Amino acid sequence: NTMLSWQRTGYHFQPEKNWMNDPNGPMFYGGWYHFFYQYNPDAAVWGNIVWGHAVSKDLIEWLHLPLAMVADHWYDTNGVWTGSATLLSDGQVIMLYTGATNESVQVQNLAYPADLSDPLLVDWVKYPGNPVLVPPPGIDDRDFRDPTTAWYGPDGKWRIAIGSKVNKTGISLVYDTEDFKKYELIEGVLHAVPGTGMWECVDLFPVSLKEDNGLDTSFNGPGVKHVLKASLDDDKNDYYAIGTYSLESGNWTPDNPNLDVGIGLRYDYGKFYASKTFYDQNKQRRILWGWIGETDGESADIKKGWASVQSIPRTVVFDKKTGTNILQWPVEEIKSLRKSCKKFDKLEVGPGSVVTLELEKATQMDITAEFEIDKEALKRIGESDMEYSCSTSGGSAQRGELGPFGLLLLADEGRCEQTPVYFYVAKGTDGQLKTFFCTDESRSSLANDVDKRIFGSTVPVIKGEKLSMRILVDHSIIESFAQGGRTCITSRVYPTKAIYGAAHLYLFNNATSANITASIQTWAMKSAYIRPYSSHAF
Ligand code: DQQ
């Protein structure tokens, strides 16, 4: 349908058509990045789930491969659901995934490549002894899914985590195994948080407190903390916390119980779910993939014939400056798509003004921007007893002394369509400045079958730092990263006027009393080659 084709992204991973959801089994093998995903081969809505598969040399350009696994056994006939890959030191590749059985029981299954000498790993074999795990006593048949990548213990056993719940408490179970065929449930849970409901797509991985590199999933010891992530089925957001994982006790404990999994930090404050990391041994980094669904209506998805994109893969590290959060940043390879650069140096914007940033094309961009609030205004600001929050505020139209200010993305010339991404600085009753990073979708589209929200969160700012943002714009998606990736917001937007050449970029300052100085760089982005299987000769 060409009428809706402007929503199609230019450099985000997508199948050619139909529905996609969770990232599955990402890994680097045989010189290729492998990416699998939840896929409905028949329609642009969820259902008939099988595993799609694609490979890439650089995480940006992709070659689609045949479906890796389809629903062809009693133990996965209602869906080949989410799973993870584990690379063994002898070169074997282990794929564990959830199957929804003929009776819709959630079980775990083992699969492996038919031919390890094929770097594309086109053919997959399901273990004849499947399922390898069924729900244990006390766990509901439909609350047992999404096995993690395995990690190796000093006792010579592998461990995997699986998400579940007991009543309203979200939990993660841990099993150990030597051969990935026989498993033993470890007593006690990895972690549990009351009130968080079903945990989907659990992820547990180490981060280095000192080095910039990522760590293999099995790495543990001094100088390491563990990130635990759960995707909450109840509110469809990915929550994480930083803590300590003890191989002896088998438990993970959060550094700060007030910021535990499901009640504290999120990977992303927009649309981002069922994410998964993997260790990239090729470049010694940990990479995060996330599913970015649609926020338009189902009938619009059916009309356009596809639904969902994947996030630009993000490197994940511990934030050594704050010590309280991770940093997410688009993989460096994305820069290969950058072309014509434009620089806007030290633009001054007074309270209540908008500045046009002249560009050729504002629909496919990479943007970096730095902002400084004038010192006098910072001194002048009064304390506010009102707790600001992006989502309950009036968005970019609600004015305060020190904000909002930022960029208007995908805006038409009359700015009746616009998506502002902005900072808002407030002084709390404790006299401390607090910085918020938000996206306001309320005017993102004139269409009315679209979910338009205002969202975001606080972002830690260290003394002496400028406020900075990085934004990736790709037709119907805006991925925003503040302060080097401390707070991230992904947004799906469906402009009807601000498309192709009619889309513009503006700088705005809606503060009532502060001048803002902004330095901005923009790059038009090339489209990535994402090729169908048949068009490629080996
Ligand atoms: N999606 C899969 C499940 C998982 C959910 C099914 C998360 O395995 O729990 O498509 O989006």
73-276+311-332 and 340-525 share one CATH topology?
A: no
Which two tokens mark 169? 């408490």
Nearest CA residue ID for atom 9, ligand 1: 200
In angstroms, what is the span from residue 22 Cα to ligand 1's centroid? 6
- pLDDT at position 384, please? 75
Which distant-in-sequence residues (6+ apart) come within 8 Å of 496 by Cβ? 417, 445, 446, 447
Rounded-to-integer distance, Cα 338 and Cα 364, Å? 10
- Topology given in CATH for the domain delimited by 340-525: Jelly Rolls (2.60.120)
Tell which one of 19, 21, 109 to mutate to probe ligand 1, the residue whose CB is within 8 A of the most ligand atoms: 21
Q: What is the ipTM of this complex?
A: 0.99
Give the number of the atom of ligand 1 that is nearest the alpha carbon of residue 200.
9
- Complete edge-to-edge strand list for the sheet that includes strand 433-440: 353-357, 504-509, 402-411, 419-427, 433-440, 454-458
The helix or strand, by DSSP H or E, that contains position 375, with its residue range, turns out to be helix 375-380
Nearest CA residue ID for atom 6, ligand 1: 81
Asked if residues 94 and 112 have their Cβ atoms less than 8 Å apart, the reply is yes
Rounded-to-integer distance, Cα 324 and Cα 434, Å? 16
Asked if residues 41 and 69 have their Cβ atoms less than 8 Å apart, the reply is no
In angstroms, what is the span from residue 292 Cα to ligand 1's centroid? 13
DSSP string of 147-178, one letter each residue: PPPPEE-TTS-EEEEEEEEETTEEEEEEEEES
Which distant-in-sequence residues (6+ apart) come within 8 Å of 521 by Cβ? 341, 342, 343, 344, 367, 368, 369
In angstroms, what is the span from residue 24 Cα to ligand 1's centroid? 10
- pLDDT at position 381, please? 87
Give the number of the atom of ligand 1 that is nearest the alpha carbon of residue 46.
10
Q: Are strands 106-113 and 124-126 parallel, antiparallel or unpaired?
A: antiparallel
* Domain boundaries 73-276+311-332, corresponding CATH code: 2.115.10.20
For residue 194, say if its preceding peptide bond is cis, omega within 30 degrees of 0: no
For residue 404, say if its preceding peptide bond is cis, omega within 30 degrees of 0: yes
- Complete edge-to-edge strand list for the sheet that includes strand 32-40: 306-307, 18-29, 32-40, 50-56, 62-69, 530-531
In angstroms, what is the span from residue 476 Cα to ligand 1's centroid? 23
In angstroms, what is the span from residue 285 Cα to ligand 1's centroid? 26
Which two tokens mark 155? 């006792």
Q: Which amino acid is at 463?
A: K
Rounded-to-integer distance, Cα 464 and Cα 448, Å? 43
Rounded-to-integer distance, Cα 24 and Cα 149, Å? 10
- pLDDT at position 1, please? 44
Tell which one of 24, 50, 76, 81 to mutate to probe ligand 1, the residue whose CB is within 8 A of the most ligand atoms: 81
Tell which one of 22, 39, 289 to mutate to probe ligand 1, the residue whose CB is within 8 A of the most ligand atoms: 22
Which distant-in-sequence residues (6+ apart) come within 8 Å of 441 by Cβ? 295, 419, 451, 452, 453, 454, 455, 491, 493
In angstroms, what is the span from residue 407 Cα to ligand 1's centroid? 34
* Residue ranges lining ligand 1, Cβ < 6 Å: 21-22, 38, 49, 81-82, 98, 145-146, 200-201, 274
Q: Which of 60, 75, 69, 54 is nearest to 141 (CA)?
A: 75
Q: Which of 378, 399, 389 is nearest to 458 (CA)?
A: 389
Give the number of the atom of ligand 1 that is nearest the alpha carbon of residue 38.
10
Give the number of the atom of ligand 1 that is nearest the alpha carbon of residue 291.
11
Which distant-in-sequence residues (6+ apart) come within 8 Å of 266 by Cβ? 237, 238, 239, 240, 457
- Domain ranges within the chain, ordered by starting residue: 73-276+311-332, 340-525
Nearest CA residue ID for atom 11, ligand 1: 274
Helix (H, G, I), strand (E, B) or coil at 461: coil
Helix (H, G, I), strand (E, B) or coil at 455: strand
3-state helix vs strand vs coil in the chain, percent to 5? 5, 45, 45
Rounded-to-integer distance, Cα 410 and Cα 478, Å? 9
The full length of the chain comes to 538
Asked if residues 483 and 461 have their Cβ atoms less than 8 Å apart, the reply is yes
- pLDDT at position 482, please? 99
In angstroms, what is the span from residue 79 Cα to ligand 1's centroid? 10
In angstroms, what is the span from residue 226 Cα to ligand 1's centroid? 23
Give the number of the atom of ligand 1 that is nearest the alpha carbon of residue 236.
11
Q: Which amino acid is at 267?
A: Y
Look up the pTM and report it.
0.97
Q: Which of 204, 263, 254 is nearest to 234 (CA)?
A: 263
Tell which one of 76, 78, 200, 234 to mutate to probe ligand 1, the residue whose CB is within 8 A of the most ligand atoms: 200
Which two tokens mark 272? 């981002």
Rounded-to-integer distance, Cα 228 and Cα 534, Å? 40
- pLDDT at position 385, please? 64
Nearest CA residue ID for atom 7, ligand 1: 274
Which residues are catalytic, by number?
Answer: 22
Full pLDDT tens readout for the chain, 538 residues: 455 688 999 999 999 999 999 999 999 999 999 999 999 999 999 999 999 999 999 999 999 999 999 999 999 999 999 999 999 999 999 999 999 999 999 999 999 999 999 999 999 999 999 999 999 999 999 999 999 999 999 999 999 999 999 999 999 999 999 999 999 999 999 999 999 999 999 999 999 999 999 999 999 989 999 999 999 999 999 999 999 999 989 999 999 999 999 999 999 999 999 999 999 999 999 999 999 999 999 999 999 999 999 999 999 999 999 999 999 999 999 999 999 999 999 999 999 999 999 998 899 999 999 999 999 999 888 877 678 999 999 999 999 999 999 999 999 999 999 999 999 999 888 888 999 999 999 999 999 999 999 999 999 999 999 999 999 999 999 999 999 999 999 999 999 999 999 999 999 999 999 999 999 999 999 999 999 987 554 4
Place of tokens 């700012």: 461
